[in-house]
Chain A
Amino acid sequence: MVENARSINIVASLILLVGIIYILGPLYLTLTTASHSYEFMLQNGLVWSPGDEFFVNIRRIFTETSIPRQMINSLIVALGDAIATCVLSFLSAYAIVYFRTRWAGVVFALILATVILPLDMRFVTTYQVASNVFSPINALLDATGLNDLIAALFGAPFHMEWSILNTHAGLVIPLLAHGMGTFLFRQFFLTLPRDLFKAARMDGAGPIRFLVDILLPLSRSTFASLFVLTFLSGWTQYLWPLVASSTADMQTAVVGLARLVPDEGAVPDYPLIMAGAILVSIVPLSMIALLQRYLVQGLILSEK
């Protein structure tokens, strides 16, 4: 801070304090609510004082809901998203930065476009493709008239169907079409000395050796940053898992939590829901606590 006056310090501290209350208040209320029984809540509403039913509620999550099974789904989705994003981004950034590829600029622009056009905006088309992976090919063959030809030759037009809805792959793959990781790695590669690649070639290392011996060890902390960021975003995805999974044992924990609210009528069992919410947040929270350094690094890098 450039200014050092006392009054400014006090004002800044006050603003921070308000911010902290704003964030921690609801979290605290979550905790207290999770520690009362449903009956207590029906009588008293949401209260700020803690009760003694917390572990009972946690046990009910394990016995009465699909949340544990759904947390495993979440783990698969978040890990799959994080690992696949890391590998794909690393490789595509490598190709873009280190090879004089034709159209490299166009490819990179398209990759960046996925940042501007996230999944939420391409929802309907993504759903259509996920419900039949071959639909783009079918449509292309229909539009170009090739299918008429195929129908004339083979007796039937080319038309195949393969739905990945309600599978783990179907939950993960659409999340991968996101250019942020490629961008992150590209930015990192550009900070490395330009002649490193040439030096490795002079030393006799081909492109793969360079990738494994030089680039991979240097990229460790970028990997960690991207892994944390995509894991968290994978864990907290809501909209896509909601539509892409139709059965309770395929849904992710976040979707499962929302489903604990009854569709109509009865007052929701808030203590149970809050206990579930706490359970579901433990994974990302501990991740943030352990890998905070990389998270901050990743956020800074992705803003450059």
Chain B
Amino acid sequence: MNAVDTAIHVAAKSIRLADVTKAYGKVNVIPSLDIEFRSGEFTVILGPSGCGKSTLLQMIAGLERVTNGKILFGGKEVQDLEPKQRGCAMVFQNYALYPHMTVAENMSYSLKVAGMTKPERQARVKIVAGMLGLGDYLDRKPGQLSGGQRQRVAIGRAIIREPGVLLFDEPLSNLDAQLRHDTRIELADLHRRIGATTVFVTHDQVEAMTLADRILILNKGQVEQFDTPKAIYHRPASVFVAKFIGSPPMNILPAQGDGSVLRLSDGQVVGEYGLKGDFQLGIRPENVVVEQGMSGGLAAPVRFREDLGSHSIISVDIAGTPVRIATPFGGVVPDYTRLAVTFPMKALHLFDGQTGKAIPEGFGVASKDGK
């Protein structure tokens, strides 16, 4: 198998967006972006629906024009080039295969347009089909394939031209859970083998966490955070990121500092803290500690419990705010209607009360990912 794998060679290129803006008429979809995707890197763009992920991807691809700013591939300006001149390929959410062409014709259409001879095309199709396990389906039409197979054809069509930049727009969202899991692993493997600079759009955080070298979190066309999955999980830059990542996501509670202690909105004391002002306190469900004696700590009336086998998720109210607690693996919490919990200081995230931005010097947060 390795003998054929080596036949796909890509020259990965870095992608830089320099002060890129995009507006549709009066609607300013992307106010201003200045980011770089490193050469050969696998970047996942994550964000809520309508935040401009597809728009961003299509600007990189050349399917949408930038309103302002520049796009550079490996230092070369490409914002005014047609897609075919940029050397990038794209996989679409609904695959967008040509219904009247066979698998082989679908995959080799770009080569045909580029004027490659038939024997050369067939050789390339064979290599790519081998990589993707499509060898037996080359003469079928897309309508005669399963969802997963169509997905592979779409990927094959993208990589056959050996693009330096590979773009994916929610390519897994039409697959069922099992197939999505398998394809995810195959994609990671494929990326390792062909090494193209990859930008992958999704709104599935599991895909983002498992595939990405770095995750770009977009909100209303602006960067919330652009960092490694680990850093995004352990050091979220804002309440938005904190709520977006993690399953269940981080609990956020309003709190006030009076210069000596930090209090929740109902006056309960969380711990000692030196700064004054309004804050938003964040704690991950798995970091909340349930007190053994069911006394002391913060009062937490139980609303309901979900038992997931390996652990349970307990929903409680603390100072009028819903908080979810994940019990440790195999941990059993008695079936009380009231719990007492504590928030360990070193697991707490502190965000500004108004802007929602992280306060880095919070509680020595930097040490939390073990560094």
- The residue in chain A whose Cβ has the minimal distance to the Cβ of B163 is A202
Residues 139-160 of A contacting B (Cβ, < 8 Å): none
User: A214 to chain B: which residues have CB within 8 Å?
Assistant: 98, 100
Least CB distance, A37 to chain B, in whole angstroms: 56
Which residues of A have CB within 8 Å of B95? 193
A204 touches B114 (CB 8 A): yes
Closest chain-B Cβ to A104's Cβ sits at a distance in Å of 14
Chain A, interface size category, equals 10 to 19
Q: Which residues of B contact A200 (CB under 8 A)?
A: 98, 109
Interface-lining segment among B83-91, B119-127, B195-203, B330-338: B83-91
Interface residue tally for chain B (C-beta within 8 Å):
25
Is B96 touching A195 in the complex (CB atoms < 8 A)?
Answer: yes
Cβ < 8 Å to B, chain A residues 176-232: 192-196, 198-205, 209, 213-214, 217-218
Whether B100 contacts A199 by the Cβ 8 Å rule is: no
Instruction: Determine if A198 and B63 form an interchain contact, defined as CB atoms under 8 angstroms apart.
Output: yes
B157 touches A (CB below 8 Å): yes
Q: Are the C-beta atoms of A202 and B113 separated by less than 8 Å? A: no
In the assembled complex, the CB of B59 is this many whole angstroms from the nearest CB of chain A, namely 13
| Chain B positions 48-81 with a Cβ under 8 Å from a chain A Cβ | 58, 61-63
Residues of B with C-beta under 8 A to A195: 92-94, 96
Partner of A203, one of B58, B93, B94, B109: B109
Known: A203-B84, A203-B109, A204-B84. A198 touches B96 (CB 8 A): yes
Identify B96's interface contact among A199, A205, A218, CB under 8 A.
A199
Contact of A202 among B90, B93, B94, B99 (CB under 8 A): B90
Closest 9 CB pairs of A and B: A204-B84, A195-B96, A203-B110, A199-B96, A204-B113, A195-B92, A217-B100, A202-B90, A202-B83
Q: List 26 A-B contacts (CB under 8 A).
A: A192-B99, A193-B96, A194-B96, A195-B92, A198-B58, A198-B61, A198-B63, A198-B90, A198-B96, A199-B90, A199-B92, A199-B96, A199-B97, A200-B109, A201-B62, A201-B82, A201-B83, A201-B84, A202-B61, A202-B63, A202-B88, A203-B84, A203-B157, A204-B110, A209-B113, A213-B109
